[in-house]
Structure 1
């Protein structure tokens, strides 16, 4: 069973379990991968019907599974290459006069990979993204791009390498006309433009907003339309600066899941780097997290078999430091610090998280939150 068929099978399971919200987004991914206009047409019609009949779940399930079975039988060319599309080696950017210096930063990015870029404000996240997008010159190091088209022209490079800043430019005229213009400008077949635009609008949750004006959209939906316009160009590398900045918590989770899924397309995967202050959410969907501190990124060394890293926990409790020290005396706690209303607990690598939970319960320690951040970039912010 190929990757495409396996994904379709998983999506059918979503519908069988009535996970309709996620299931329909995954259905759209499978449909887009076919590049089949007959499938696009049927999917667009189903999307329109779904929005007009929000309470007819059983019919939606039946129609979606029937469409998925059609999609499953379509041969989809899978992307298999494991070569990097971007390789940065010892990149630095100096502003002179003892001002801020970025780097050295080295990273290798492949299609289908998602990298999170985090760090406190002023540590060079936007500068690094703009360098990778070839919008800023760098002082030293090397940048190597490897696209499907060898030795791309500047025009092709700008098509395949796309940077979206936190604040997008205002759109003028119809939102749909802006999206249609992208495809017409990039040589898409005229008879396919409308279906391709509608599929992207559906995939990014914009179906009920496509007839609004730019001024009538929230900041979050403006970002989604900008993403739609970009994805229609089929980029190979996508660089996003704070795409979650103007979204509520639920919307942040949805857009991150969507970006991860789109980046992992069967036949058109995208290499994605996004900067964000939402550490935990970004970590969930990232293959790697790049943490910049004072402009520098030191890739973590792989742990040896004999190494047992420190167990680091965040704990929100109204207990005193002394009470917690007594509670964890038998677990040989190494350090307790208080950071912005949250306790940071440090244990040796011999201590298991489950042992800490058990000890808290046995001693009836009041708490509203606990989290293991031993492998999270959060630990760099609190040290």
Structure 2
């Protein structure tokens, strides 16, 4: 009977597979995560030796596979026990409300339960309470009513410990002075890590978050994407248990968004230090791809208080971007009972009453009638359908 792989061994195996398949960046980041899991200086040194080689090879990363393997074998020398803490409760909010004396806006009541390893997306139009909810959960502003509690691995009433375990990253981060590396080293000193361990850990975080070539740059010399990577690196040095991010994808290009989302998921699902995360964004589809649950807010209220159907009973809702007319759509689907067709944001939202029709049926009908399509998506279970009103 084969021995079951530990989660650390599985992570290293996946990193190797990705690297061998040509997904060098993903395999590289996963390998560094495995190295960080060991918390061993000698492993950090071996990993950083590989980082130097990796960063210098700009053309063909497959050429340095042997160096990847050497680093991997060093990490494999240290076994990591499976902690099995993913899924443990860490935050609970009951009937959270916030009401402002000036103005008519009121948030909630909102119930929320967050577990280690959870990634929750927070969506809604601007001014509907996303930032307010995040700052309440981060204990940065007082709620008007309701109960909010945390279940950290180690209980402490010290406010400094709370701020270390519970991190809020705003959309507009504060300007800092000096270089990337100096700021990260300074941040780690504040958490009691000095000397060689400080040096190694900071360099590991710089490599992990793609800041190697930018470590000597100042705040004004970094793009929005690299400022966000810096914030993530600084945050992870604190070993938080909950991370709350307000619009982390704002002002990022598509590639940067995908890398950040990938990193957020990898960090949250870590088998050694899983993190509970909530992040807000206007990038609805990107949020839904990585989130375990999506919270939709309108006028400060969540879905269940808005009278919105959380799932139309097996009915199909399609978002369609086409140059064909409404009449064309009605004609090809005349055999099926359409509930309504709405033109929203430059695309058609098509609701089917007939619960026997499937998305594959729709694709077949559209193809056989030679529709010109730019985009089509099944939004039956997506929060996108709540933005149509």
* Structure 1 CA distance for aligned equivalents of residues 195 and 27 of structure 2: 30
> Do the aligned partners of 2:90 and 2:150 also contact (CA within 8 Å) in 1?
yes
The aligned counterpart of 1:90 is 95
> Do the aligned partners of 2:95 and 2:108 also contact (CA within 8 Å) in 1?
yes
TM-score by length of 2: 0.94
Over residues 97-128 of structure 1, what are the superposed CA-to-partner deviations in whole Å (9 max), with x where a residue is unaligned? Answer: 66100001111111111111110011000000
User: SS where residue 172 of structure 1 aligns?
Assistant: coil
> Do the aligned partners of 1:79 and 1:269 also contact (CA within 8 Å) in 2?
no
> How many positions carry a matched residue from both structures?
380
Please, which of 192, 198, 201 is the counterpart of residue 197 of structure 2? 192
The aligned counterpart of 1:14 is 18
> Do the aligned partners of 1:314 and 1:345 also contact (CA within 8 Å) in 2?
yes
* Structure 2 CA distance for aligned equivalents of residues 68 and 338 of structure 1: 53
Over residues 260-285 of structure 1, what are the superposed CA-to-partner deviations in whole Å (9 max), with x where a residue is unaligned? Answer: 10111121111111110001111111
The aligned counterpart of 2:232 is 227
Over residues 352-380 of structure 1, what are the superposed CA-to-partner deviations in whole Å (9 max), with x where a residue is unaligned? Answer: 10000000011111111101111111111
* Structure 1 CA distance for aligned equivalents of residues 219 and 12 of structure 2: 35
Please, which of 171, 174, 179 is the counterpart of residue 184 of structure 2? 179
User: SS where residue 336 of structure 1 aligns?
Assistant: strand
* Structure 2 CA distance for aligned equivalents of residues 176 and 151 of structure 1: 30
> Do the aligned partners of 2:50 and 2:71 also contact (CA within 8 Å) in 1?
no
Please, which of 324, 329, 338 is the counterpart of residue 324 of structure 1? 329
* Structure 2 CA distance for aligned equivalents of residues 160 and 70 of structure 1: 30
Q: Does 1:237 find its partner at 2:246?
A: no
The aligned counterpart of 2:385 is 379
* Structure 2 CA distance for aligned equivalents of residues 333 and 43 of structure 1: 58
The aligned counterpart of 1:370 is 376
TM-score by length of 1: 0.95
The aligned counterpart of 2:278 is 273
The aligned counterpart of 2:58 is 54
The aligned counterpart of 2:84 is 80
The aligned counterpart of 2:358 is 352
> Do the aligned partners of 2:14 and 2:27 also contact (CA within 8 Å) in 1?
no
- 4+ runs of 1 displaced by more than 3 Å? 298-303
Q: Does 1:162 find its partner at 2:163?
A: no
Question: Which is worse superposed, 53-62 or 97-106?
Answer: 53-62
Question: Which is worse superposed, 242-251 or 89-98?
Answer: 89-98
Unmatched tracts of structure 1, length 5 or more: none
* Structure 2 CA distance for aligned equivalents of residues 136 and 234 of structure 1: 23
The aligned counterpart of 2:210 is 205
> Do the aligned partners of 2:318 and 2:376 also contact (CA within 8 Å) in 1?
yes
Question: Which is worse superposed, 277-286 or 12-21?
Answer: 12-21
* Structure 2 CA distance for aligned equivalents of residues 44 and 205 of structure 1: 13
